[in-house]
Amino acid sequence: MSSSPQTPGTRKPMKTLCPDTFTFEFENLPEAYGRNSTYLCFEVKTNTLPSPDFPDSGIFQNQDQPPGHHAELVFLAWFFKRLRLGECYQVTWYVSWSPCSRCADQVANFLKSHGTVRLRILASRLYFSKKLENREGLHRLSQARAEVKIMSLKDFEYCWENFVNHEEKPFQPWMNLDKNSEGWNAELKNIHRSSESRSQSGQFGSTLLPQEYGRGERNPRDLLTEGIFYQQFNNKHKLKKPYYKRKTYLCYELNGPQLVKGCFHYEEGHHAESQFIEEIGSMGLDQGRLYFITCYFTWSPCHSCARKLVSFVKGNSHLCLKIYTSRLYYHWIWKYIQGLQHLQNSDVPVTVMTDREFEYCWTNFVDNKGMPFEPWEKLDSYSKNIEERLKRILEKRSTPDDLNEDFRNLYL
């Protein structure tokens, strides 16, 4: 049985490799000619995994067609959309090649922006290890809390058992496996020594590129007031008197070389989603780099805005977008249901906000004057009910009658 190749643009990991592919791609030769792709076998560990939409292991490889992402970036795009705020993750990579300098920079920036993620990288070979930029890239990974090591015989055996369709055949070490591992390990130690020396002498340049962002960081006037946050993000099903209009507010956070934040709200004839798309489109972002964007909505996107967001992401493959929402907008009407399904099917995940996300928004997007977030009554209960409704919408191919019946049963 051969490994199933990934369709370019896909974000789903493979489950296994065929034995010949593994042996050829992971052979730790000092000069590995003809190995032009990186294979990345991963494991993710946390208290709540595995789950159907977040398997705890799999395999990625380079994508040849645009955006041409290397395996490391394909993994990050997949992983980012499944991260849950506040959870801790231990990620292990077994890679045929160590990351190139550009991937190393992006992985390092990702780790700095997501402090709950710990990464361990075990490499069969070092990628163009004589090139200074690749050596410095490996050192920057170490500075970003990533543990980088060379694969040993035990690691190759582990990969064979867990990532190869070996049909009960034992792993057969190739000639000079241990000797090659020792050679690569000595090279990695030399890289860390020389890079540390350069770092101490101040010869490393900064990896941050402020000029990439046309508008820079948002200023304090963009923060929400306490009153607006509690009124607009409140996830109660029904309001009590005095009534007020609950508009769409959108708070976003863009992670790249810099962290950029902003807030938009519905204005007559101009949806918050449209303002957000215009804002990101005006930044002149480097299309050769991945950017991770998290949006927090008071109302989930309408059907029209859902299509706009999908088109925007598909037209900008360097952007990875995920959405948290406090409430579902007209979730019993078929076209809005289809909008939510369209987002999910287009790899733009939609998740219902819990107390963790509300608290995060309070800390990062509200002029809170140093006061802690105070959850409102039944916040958790409302979140669970809305989450159940969203789950029903996204999990099955329903007809309008089916979903209207679900609505009546859930009392939403």
In a domain, 13, yes or no: no
pLDDT at 207: 37
In a domain, 11, yes or no: no
Catalytic residue among 25, 43, 72, 136: 72
CA within 13 Å, CB half, 10: 12
d(CA 312, CA 323): 14
- In this structure, are 148 and 269 located in the same domain? no
- In this structure, are 218 and 156 located in the same domain? no
d(CA 128, CA 133): 9
CATH number of 221's domain: 3.40.140.10
d(CA 30, CA 186): 12
72 flagged as catalytic: yes
pLDDT at 358: 98
Return the residue matching tokens 């099955």.
396
- In this structure, are 180 and 221 located in the same domain? no
In a domain, 10, yes or no: no
Identity of residue 373: F
In a domain, 28, yes or no: yes
End-to-end CA distance of the chain: 48
- In this structure, are 84 and 216 located in the same domain? no
In a domain, 39, yes or no: yes
pLDDT at 216: 41
In a domain, 386, yes or no: yes
pLDDT at 61: 94
Looking at 175, 200, 225, the residue that finishes a domain is 200
Residue 399 tokens read as: 């007809």
Contacts of 92 (CB under 8 A, 6+ apart): 42, 43, 45, 119, 120, 121, 122
Looking at 200, 221, 256, the residue that finishes a domain is 200
The Cα diameter of the chain in Å comes to 78
- In this structure, are 180 and 280 located in the same domain? no
- In this structure, are 219 and 186 located in the same domain? no
pLDDT at 55: 67
pLDDT at 400: 56
pLDDT at 198: 59
- In this structure, are 122 and 169 located in the same domain? yes
- In this structure, are 289 and 322 located in the same domain? yes
Q: pTM of the predicted model, to two decimals?
A: 0.84
328-381, pLDDT tens digit by residue? 999 999 999 999 999 999 999 999 999 999 999 999 999 999 999 999 999 999
- In this structure, are 126 and 223 located in the same domain? no
In a domain, 98, yes or no: yes
In a domain, 276, yes or no: yes
Domain span including residue 330: 210-410
d(CA 333, CA 54): 29
- In this structure, are 179 and 318 located in the same domain? no
- In this structure, are 226 and 349 located in the same domain? yes
Looking at 150, 167, 200, the residue that finishes a domain is 200
Low-confidence ranges of the chain (pLDDT < 50): 1-10, 66-67, 203-221, 409-412
d(CA 164, CA 39): 12
Strand, coil or helix: 360: helix
- In this structure, are 245 and 143 located in the same domain? no
188-210, pLDDT tens digit by residue? 999 988 766 655 555 444 333 33
Number of domains present in the structure of the chain: 2
